[in-house]
Amino acid sequence: GSGILAILPIGGSLGWTYVATVNQAHEHLDQVARQVADNVHNVLQAATEALLDVSRAALQGCTDSLIVEMRTRAAMLYAMRDIGYVTADGFLVCNSYGRLDPPRAVGSARLIETEGSEFVFTLPVATVFTPGKSIIIAHRLSNGDSVNILVPPELLLSPLKPGALGSGGSVEVTMLD
């Protein structure tokens, strides 16, 4: 009987330690998720504001003033890769680096459209214009053309410090239809 009495405090202590550890892990994951969600919101807000500003200058097509506007906005956006003007038939005619002569076909990526939004997104895709993959955020203009910005997917996870999830921990950003 005394052996069982000696084990009860140890068992209770282990149970309490387990529950406390799980709760602490949940709190840490919630904190990390909030940081990533806030960062994604801030990145998307900066990108869409830039696209709206550039779209005003894009109403006359790919002009010298549009190129200057795209260059200025791209320089102000931390780690975003490029802003470009794409025609309705899929040709990049100019970007924040200048005019493309001849214009380059950009291909077609699978678009994610949110009902009621004036912006469309792609899953991360490789482009010939930038290293690695980029999420493309596009704002369609009234004439069918669009102004696009390339966002590196890793920018969305930038608040995560190495090892934030412990050894072997990882985060995957998924975009659902």
Which H or E run contains 125? Answer: strand 125-126
pLDDT at position 68 is 92
Q: Is the pTM of this model over 0.75?
A: no
pLDDT at position 166 is 57
Q: Report how far residue 177's alpha carbon sits from residue 158's, in angstroms, rounded to the nearest whole number.
A: 24
Query: Higher confidence at residue 95 or residue 32?
Result: 95
Q: Report how far residue 70's alpha carbon sits from residue 57's, in angstroms, rounded to the nearest whole number.
A: 9
Question: Residue 139 forms beta bridges with which residues?
Answer: 119, 147
Cα three-residue angle 25-165-125, rounded to 5 degrees:
130
Mean pLDDT within 14-32: 75
pLDDT at position 18 is 72
Beta-strand (E) ranges in 66-124?
82-86, 91-95, 98-105, 111-113, 119-122
- The token pair at 16 is 């309490």
Mean pLDDT within 18-32: 75
Q: What is the pLDDT of residues 148-162, one digit of tens each?
A: 998 888 777 776 665
pLDDT at position 99 is 93
pLDDT at position 102 is 92
pLDDT at position 33 is 76
Q: Report how far residue 91's alpha carbon sits from residue 105's, in angstroms, rounded to the nearest whole number.
A: 4
pLDDT at position 67 is 93
3-state secondary structure the chain: CHHHHHHHHHHHHHHHHHHHHHHHHHHHHHHHHHHHHHHHHHHHHHHHHHHHHHHHHHHHCCCHHHHHHHHHHHHHCCCCCEEEEECCCCEEEEECCEEEEEEEECCCCCEEECCCCCEEEECCEECCCCCCEEEEEEEECCCCCEEEEEECHHHHCCCCCCCCCCCCCCCCCCCCC
pLDDT at position 177 is 44
Q: What is the mean pLDDT of the chain?
A: 79
Q: Report how far residue 18's alpha carbon sits from residue 11's, in angstroms, rounded to the nearest whole number.
A: 11
